[in-house]
Amino acid sequence: MNARRRKRFIAGAVCPRCGVLDRILMYEAETVEASAEPALTRECVDCGFSEVLPAEPAAAPLPGRHDKARPIAPEAERARPIRFYPKPPKAGG
């Protein structure tokens, strides 16, 4: 494993302990077991809060409005050509 860990600040993250914005950084923690995947660690640079996040993926996201299948309109109702008509002449001029 690399001797140097790449640490990255997380934009918009708030520290759960001190509540300061934009002071959380994340990096891959070194694992003791060779077969284990590296776990993500988050740290606060202000108060020293540190937490190891589980390596397991999060639960499936909740369904949203974009997940629903939309009914397909019949071919006649889909795209129709746009017709442009010339501007009518002024009456009385």
- What is the structure's pLDDT at 83? 86
pLDDT for 77 beyond 80: no
**pLDDT tens track for 7-43:** 899 898 899 899 899 999 998 876 666 556 677 889 9
Judge if pTM exceeds 0.75. Answer: no
pLDDT for 45 beyond 90: yes
Top pLDDT among 92 and 76 is at 92
Q: What letter does residue 76 receive in the DSSP assignment?
A: G
pLDDT for 44 beyond 90: yes
- What is the structure's pLDDT at 1? 46
> Do 30 and 15 touch, CB atoms closer than 8 A?
no
**pLDDT tens track for 50-72:** 988 876 666 676 666 666 676 77
CA distance 73 to 71: 6
